[in-house]
Structure 1
Amino acid sequence: MKTGAGIREHGATVIVAALSTLFASTLILGTGVMTAALDPDLIESSGTFRMVLLMVSAVFIVIALYVGAIVTANTFATIIAGRTRTIALLRLVGASSRKVRSRVAGEGLLMGALGAGIGWVLAELLILAAVTWGPGLGWLPAGREYPRFDPLTVGAVGVVALTTWAAAWAGSRRVGSVSPIAATGAAVELRPDAARGRTARTVWSIILIILGAVFLTLGLLLGMLTPLALLVAFFGGLLSFTGIALGAHIIMPPILRLTGTLLGQGPTGRLAAANAVRFPERSARSTIGLVIGVTLVTMFAVALETYGSMTQIAFESDPALAAALAETLAITTAVFTGLVGFSAIIAAVGMVNTLSLSVLQRTRELGLLRALGFTGGQVRRMVIAESCQMTLAALGFGLLLGVFYGWVAAQSLLGSQAGFAPPTIPWLVVSGIVVFGFILAVSAAVAPARRAIRVSPVAALAVD
């Protein structure tokens, strides 16, 4: 493997591992700093305070790891598609699929450990700067001893590295299906009929979605009786969304076809629309990460906004209490949106990397278009249009899921006090998500498209 190709392939893996570790370690260390900043009269109960903060932090850490694992698995699945010829040659000279998968997983562990180490160092530097300059700037009380290290952060480094290793192993599952005859080709993706033929994956996806729907329904019904119904709804959302992520190769192509009709009827638009659905696995990998990020941010924003509206209804007889709750909710919304937004950034990194790798692996295909008369500008517009199509599909689907999950969360928590209420949509947050999504789409496509069209048609057709 060439050094340049290796950097391009594993750059996102290192970044995702670094971001995940930075996020987890900062939350853990920040919890210790916040505990130390407590008023001395509350020190005796600070252990409980620290435990509550750690539990809240754990939720967001798990979300970040969940997103990071899916992004890493998709990245390695894309890498495997681009290494088809190399893997086939290894199989031809006697290497077993398990040995090749172990080698790929070893790359994941190495890159995960490297990224986790970088993230841990950044988190330590960030906390060191906070406790050094924070008291002088008035951010933290002066005269306190603030922790600069927590053994839990070492555990976070290990968890991120192992998660990356597991995601790399999962992403390389197609190694066993690569035959020696594939050595005559380059990147090989499953076509629609083959993707639909993955029966076990599809069946598990349907089972998880149905189970999730049952739990979500129970959460809504029980929400009219007790706030504890939120726990039931939480498991329903986790199961159903995992089913959606698992079945993305079936779910996303119809949505992509729908958004493809918006690209126009010119040759560039038609080719972009066709490319987005020609290989469902590739399209699913490129979009599902962004779907996760959009769903998470929208879900928390809608849940908190709807919760605020329902709180006003539940406590309309006590305006002072309702106003105090609204103020607290505004602060909570800002903090939670920032925390969940970090996971969305991880998902965005995954989309940019997956799209970049897929474009680079299609150099021969793009060279053929150039040989048939397409200009460099037309190829660039096609790649950008394809990226916009995928982004529009991911944004639309993610927003719908986020609004639904957020409404279910608020309804199951406060339905017993405020009754049935429609979802309240924070349009400012939604607008920000849409703008960010399309900036991401263009930026994700421009750089790899520029690199691809710099190669002459003759040289591109000779690429392995």
Structure 2
Amino acid sequence: MGASILVAAISSAFGALLLSATGFIAALLRADPYIGESELLAAVLAIMSFLLVGVAVYVASIVTANTFATVVAGRTRRIALLRLIGASARSQRAEIARQGLIVGVIGAVLGLVAGTLAAGAGVALAAQLLGIEGVEYAVVQPVLLVPAAVVALTTWAAAWAGSRRVLTVTPLQALGGSVEAPHDAFSRRGVRNGGAIALFATGGALLAGGIGLGLVSPLGVIVAFFGGILSFTGLALGATLVMPPVLRLVGRMFGRSATARLAAENALRYPERSSRMAIGVVMGVTLVTMFAVALETVKAVFAASADGPLPADLTTLMDTFAGIMMGLVAVSAVIAAVGLVNLLTIGVVQRRRELGLLRALGVSTGQVRRMVLLEAAHITITATVTGLVLGVVYGWAGAQSLLGAVPVPPAFSAPTLVAPAVPWVPVAIIVVATAVLTLIAAVVPTRLATRVAPVEALAD
């Protein structure tokens, strides 16, 4: 449960930092004698605070659910054995749900304390470095309890949902090693796949509608926000149908050797686990890219509305805001890395028999290590490309729907519609950072894989 506690703690701290950062920025802007009384600015800040909290809650929900569901899947044999000797399904499910709630509360409390302390230190440092005077902002506020409560409840809900899926497996199937369902089983889920497609299409339509409404009112960003949530949820639900074939296609780029083919085929043999790993990385890359593109597109929208370059002080303020937000959002990449190393590790543990059989057939330690690293590389490449595309779309849609109707002096030429502005340097940093995090995340699983003794694994 250590990884689940860590993910819950990081998610809770992430939400607390986001709330504190946006609140501090709002206090700075309100203290400005020129723009502090702007009702439009107040509305934009309120909308941004709402959206940032929503993003934090959504990230915490997806990552925590995926992590705990995989932990539960790894305990299938133990649960099946307890059912075989007389334990009821209801008691097992209640135990898992209770453990999920305890894990969520512990992680949420630790994250809340750490996030509040970090926010207090950040506010004090920012005030000192920027020479800010006369701005009062209380870091400790009741609203910080919201992300912690949501993380705790989400972990409990994830444990409850995951336990229902695991307890549908018969004891004999679980004792025989049938933990993960095959790809065909997920391909035949007509209701789930149809719902995923409907959610993705509905989200796309709302995104387009939000951009159109954003040319009239900043409230268009709310429509676009729900469009992004629905479309990404549809992608997450349909991941077991879409991701494995894409992962296998990417795997063919690494050659036709036996090791490379085994790594590529594992995506289809374990579709649920590989899809969870891919979606976790996709979400982290999408979130960071989205904010980078959104902030760059904001500059483009303002410049187009002003019909000229932006004032130096406004550019400095926006760059400062961009730096703060990118630093906060980068935490999502850490969350994705924790989830990835947890999923890769559990995958190796669940495949002890397979790895032992490969070793018994003559596969060397180096080949096993290379196979696990190639699986991580497949996930990284697929998830990074998908996340970059989604991040560009979501970031542009968010900035355009929020500020397309905001006039900027001296031209005041609103409504304004611009093309997506992609900051290539941050994008390159995102790609390199994701690759490095994936390599670090694969260290523990590869060490476990190479330590599997053939005799011990086959005797399991």
What per-residue deviation string (whole Å, max 9, x for no partner) do you get for residues 263-285 of structure 1?
Answer: 11111111111112222111111
What's the offset of the Cα at 1:290?
A: 0.8
**Contact 2:192/2:238 (<8 A) preserved:** yes
Q: 2:283 is aligned with what amino acid?
A: I
CA spacing shift, 1:314–1:125, aligned 2, 3 Å: closer
Distance 1:124 1:327 in 2: 27
Instruction: List aligned pairs for 1:134-145, cutoff 5 A.
Output: none
1:217 lines up with 2:216 in the alignment: no
Q: Does the residue aligned with 1:104 lie in a helix, a strand or coil? A: helix
CA spacing shift, 1:116–1:174, aligned 2, 3 Å: same
Unaligned stretches of 5+ residues in structure 1: 1-9
Aligned to 1:84: 76
Task: Name which of structure 1's ranges 80-89 and 26-35 shifts more when overlaid on structure 2.
Answer: 26-35
What per-residue deviation string (whole Å, max 9, x for no partner) do you get for residues 344-394 of structure 1?
Answer: 322222122111211222121111111111110110011001100011000
Instruction: List aligned pairs for 1:32-71, cutoff 5 A.
Output: 56-71=48-63
Selected match of 1:304 from 264, 289, 295? 295
**Contact 2:239/2:279 (<8 A) preserved:** yes
1:394 lines up with 2:383 in the alignment: yes
What's the offset of the Cα at 1:18?
A: 1.1
Aligned to 1:6: none
Aligned to 1:295: 286
**Contact 1:13/1:111 (<8 A) preserved:** yes
**Contact 2:400/2:417 (<8 A) preserved:** yes
Selected match of 2:183 from 185, 192, 196? 192
**Contact 1:81/1:187 (<8 A) preserved:** no
CA spacing shift, 1:169–1:370, aligned 2, 3 Å: same
1:444 lines up with 2:438 in the alignment: no
**Contact 2:356/2:453 (<8 A) preserved:** yes
Distance 1:209 1:131 in 2: 39
What per-residue deviation string (whole Å, max 9, x for no partner) do you get for residues 86-134 of structure 1?
Answer: 2222232343433322211211111111112222332344356568888
Distance 1:421 1:238 in 2: 23
Selected match of 1:285 from 237, 251, 276? 276
Task: Name which of structure 1's ranges 213-222 and 21-30 shifts more when overlaid on structure 2.
Answer: 21-30
Selected match of 1:24 from 4, 15, 21? 15
Selected match of 1:107 from 99, 112, 129? 99
What's the offset of the Cα at 1:148?
A: 6.4
Task: Name which of structure 1's ranges 114-123 and 30-39 shifts more when overlaid on structure 2.
Answer: 30-39
Distance 1:284 1:384 in 2: 17
CA spacing shift, 1:123–1:407, aligned 2, 3 Å: closer
Task: Name which of structure 1's ranges 228-237 and 436-445 shifts more when overlaid on structure 2.
Answer: 228-237
Distance 1:143 1:212 in 2: 43
TM-score relative to the length of structure 2: 0.86
Distance 1:133 1:225 in 2: 39
Selected match of 2:158 from 164, 167, 192? 167
1:454 lines up with 2:445 in the alignment: no
Aligned to 1:347: 336
Task: Name which of structure 1's ranges 265-274 and 304-313 shifts more when overlaid on structure 2.
Answer: 304-313
What's the offset of the Cα at 1:194?
A: 0.8
Instruction: List aligned pairs for 1:314-463, cutoff 5 A.
Output: 314-316=305-307, 318-319=308-309, 321=310, 323-415=312-404, 417=414, 419-463=416-460
Instruction: List aligned pairs for 1:247-286, cutoff 5 A.
Output: 247-286=238-277
**Contact 1:234/1:409 (<8 A) preserved:** yes
**Contact 1:37/1:140 (<8 A) preserved:** no
Distance 2:427 2:221 in 1: 24
What's the offset of the Cα at 1:323?
A: 4.8
What per-residue deviation string (whole Å, max 9, x for no partner) do you get for residues 155-210 of structure 1?
Answer: 54333211211122223331232112124323610101111122332122112112
**Contact 1:89/1:180 (<8 A) preserved:** yes
What's the offset of the Cα at 1:249?
A: 0.7
Aligned to 2:232: 241
Task: Name which of structure 1's ranges 225-234 and 365-374 shifts more when overlaid on structure 2.
Answer: 225-234
Distance 2:109 2:218 in 1: 41
What's the offset of the Cα at 1:30?
A: 5.9
Aligned to 2:220: 229
Distance 2:259 2:386 in 1: 24
**Contact 1:192/1:279 (<8 A) preserved:** yes
TM-score relative to the length of structure 1: 0.86
What per-residue deviation string (whole Å, max 9, x for no partner) do you get for residues 228-269 of structure 1?
Answer: 333322221111111111111112123212211111111111
Q: Does the residue aligned with 1:190 lie in a helix, a strand or coil? A: coil
